[in-house]
Structure 1
Amino acid sequence: MAQEELKSINFMGWRKTIGAISILLLLVSIVSLAVNGLRLGLDFTGGTQIEVGFAEPANLGEIRTLLVEQGLENPTAVYFGSETEVLIRTQGAMQDGALVLIGNRLEALEPGAQIVRVERPAAGQAGLSQVIVLDGVSAAQVRDTDIFDRTYFGNVEFAQVEDGLAVTLENSLDVAYTNRLLTALSEHANTDVELRRSEFVGPQIGEELRDEGGLGMLVALFLVMLYIAFRFQYKFALGAVAALIHDVILVLGFFSLFQLDFDLTVLAAVLAVIGYSLNDTIVVFDRIRENFRLVRRGSPKEVVNFSLTQTLERTLITSLTTLLVLVMLFLFGGELINNFATALIVGVLVGTYSSIYVSANTLLALHIDREDLIPPPKEGEEQEELVP
């Protein structure tokens, strides 16, 4: 292929400037991850989610305000299928919200009063499920208040113990608080509210999900590097992995910078971004390898520019059609998958950019040339050529 045929866009003419921008974005992302960290969702931190059904469409803004007033930690409320179905999530157990409410009411009743501990009832106390030990109040002060309303807690017994007042409850704090929360939601919305389901994710399970998810991402990157090295050449493998690491860090940095919830759906989106970016990168690499073998007079920079120009239309069409679907998913998919769609939108944009400027830029930085792609001669090939 003659030199004059290499008409192309000079992508690599901007490679130093674009490379500096990429490094800056990576530094911002890494600093944000180090300072702010990720706002881990309930899947990773542990917590409770309950689904409730309203007789009439619910107002999420009012529900979120009420949840904070009820003492829940970092509560969220989103529609779940329709405007009458609401999914409520909170870090920690329902018991934690109950303890906050009880603590606040104790302080209002008697300044300095506090909860000492929560424990299981002693053996032989059939029908009772939980014991709370209080300090700074007497049974007479608490008995006639609504702190331990029997509507929610069932039968309540008081006994003086060595370190305070032991309050034994028929219903656990989780059950009592959930019932109280349903009543509060019903009164606030002035409509019937029904509990659909309640689930608890323990902190240990959350840690396992986080660790295994991170390990899965590292294994995926390692296998990608092996595949590219085998399919192409080790410089291509380093370029592909550099682009994938770049994409993952920028997506994580975006979620850290804007403090968006990072849960299992977002982790799945990050893994999908790795696959999407890799597919795009392999298409570019395949064309670069082919042109290095076909183009005889072009410099490595010119061959890379020519290859990127040839694949530009395919890259843009693929990315735009994907983004069109993702934007519709973001706009009309509901709050439950907003972060999933956001991660994919950011990932597709970053992945398209990295396929052009990070992976190809890395190849030039590693001084890729035509000799790297010439197949090694087979054993005995030279001797065969010498035979008359």
Structure 2
Amino acid sequence: MKLLKIIPDNTNIPFLKWRNVAIWFSFALIAASIALVAIRGLNFGVDFAGGLMMEVRFEQPVELDELRETVNTAGAGDGNLQTFGDPRTVAIRLPLPPGDDAAVQAVVKQVQDKIRVTHKDAEFRRVETVSGKVSGELIRDGALAMLLAMIAISIYIWFRFEWQFGVGALFALVHDVTLTLGFFALTQLEFDLNIVAAILTIIGYSLNDTIVVYDRIRENLRKYRKMDMAELLNLSINETLSRTIVTSVSMMIALGTLVVLGGSVLFGFSVAMLLGIFVGTFSSIFVGAPLLLWLGVTSDSFVANEASAEDRVKAKKAAERGQV
């Protein structure tokens, strides 16, 4: 029985032909994402912003402006409202009232009573509270976790391959993370600890995909020392293309199902992962590999290092035999 091949063995797509367009396009997207985060900011959830969050479900979609006016009349401060997964579910975020748990419960009851007056069908699903101190610590720890993960990964690739590969992988990771943050700044989807977990997962996936391509590049550098570097990179990408496409498409199908059917709790995580898989696949092909050319890697860049290593081994064996 003949096995089905999604990508034929003789595939030779000239990816490096578009390397300049892809790199500058990536730079433009990174700049746009940074600008969006700086100007619009991220819509931090209660985990990061602190405060009181209530999730309310209605039988029919509601007008957010009308519901906002109702919430504001409860005397609990200005409410920040947004749909949560679908038009019938609304997340209400309020400032955390001073005092103990009794004060918080009193505010929750006031808001619920006001909403029930105009919306008999309101179903209050959950209430969460996070203090400002805890939210500040979570922001710091979440950012530190992403930064340390990226640095540790780059150091590993540096020692596993060469420094040029480490720089290329680091830029690919920055590309993937920055674009994901820019997407959340653009859409104003809630950014909470679930999204941090998604970004850390994206970093791991992007690393895995990039290392597969880099490992094939290193193998081909040893096999084809007289081949033009652009051709060698094209060959390496095409040789790993089947694995890349199968893995990415399989994950996208699963994540797409979660986006549609997973409900509001998993919506942000699933969207972040779906976008991250797409940009991670793009970066491993059009960013990580072409950057090696910009960093001066050629088909004989590492021949001297390998030769000197072989010489040291031979010298050691000769010394052991008493011939040195």
Query: Shorter-chain TM-score: what band?
Result: 0.7 to 0.9
The residue aligned with 1:297 is 226
Aligned to 2:312: 379
1:221 counterpart residue number: 150
C-alpha change, 1:298 and 1:341, in structure 2 (3 Å) is same
Q: Computing the radius of gyration over CA atoms, which structure comes out larger, 1 or 2?
A: 1
Q: Which residue of 2 aligns with 1:107?
A: none
> Could you tell me how far apart the structure 1 residues matched to 2:215 and 2:108 are?
58
Distance 1:92 1:176, change over 3 A: same
Q: Residue 239 of structure 1 contacts residue 363 of structure 1 at CA under 8 Å; is this kept in 2?
A: yes
> Partners in 2 of 1:351 and 1:284 — Cα distance?
12
Match of 2:3 in 1: none
Q: Is 2:278 the counterpart of 1:274?
A: no
Aligned residues: 302
How far apart, in 1, do the equivalents of 2:94 and 2:45 lie? 8
User: Would you say the 8 A contact 2:43–2:190 is kept in 1?
Assistant: yes
1:66 is the counterpart of 2:54: no
Q: Secondary structure at the match of 2:128?
A: strand
Superposed counterparts of 1:178-327, under 5 Å: 178-190=108-120, 198-327=127-256
**Does the C-alpha gap of structure 1 residues 367 and 47 become closer, same or farther in structure 2, counting only changes over 3 Å?**
same
Higher helix share: 2
Q: CA deviation at 1:279?
A: 0.4
Cα pair 1:47 1:90 within 8 Å, conserved:
yes
- Unaligned 5+ segments in structure 2 are 1-9, 73-77
**1:292–1:337 distance in 2 versus 1, CA, 3 Å:** same
1:175 aligns with 2:122: no
- The DSSP-based 3-state class of the residue aligned with 1:61 is coil
Amino acid at match of 2:93: T
Instruction: Decide whether aligned partners of structure 1 residues 192 and 205 sit closer, same or farther in structure 2, where only a CA change above 3 A counts.
Output: closer
SS of residue matched to 2:312: coil
Identity of aligned pairs, percent? 35
Give the aligned partner of residue 143 of structure 1: none
How far the C-alpha of 1:332 sits from its partner, in A, is 1.0
Q: Equivalent residue for 1:90?
A: 93
Report the Cα distance in structure 1 between the residues aligned to 2:244 and 2:122, rounded to whole angstroms: 52
**1:7–1:306: 8 Å Cα contact kept in structure 2?**
no
Post-superposition offset of 1:266: 1.1
The Cα shift of 1:274 comes to 0.4
Shift of 1:380: 6.6
Greater share of strand residues, 1 or 2?
1
- Taking a change above 3 Å as real, the CA distance of residues 380 and 44 of structure 1, as seen in their structure-2 partners, is closer
1:8 CA displacement: 2.8
With the length of structure 1 as denominator, give the TM-score of the two structures: 0.70
Residue 91 to residue 372, structure 1, CA distance change in 2 (3 Å): farther
| Distance in 2 of aligned mates of 1:7 and 1:179 | 64
User: CA–CA distance in 2 between the matches of 1:51 and 1:362?
Assistant: 46
Q: Name the structure 2 match of 1:43.
A: 47
Aligned amino acid, residue 33 of structure 2: S
- Mapped contact 1:58–1:189 kept (Cα < 8 A): no
User: Could you list the runs of 4 or more consecutive aligned residues of structure 1 that deviate by over 6 angstroms after TM superposition?
Assistant: none
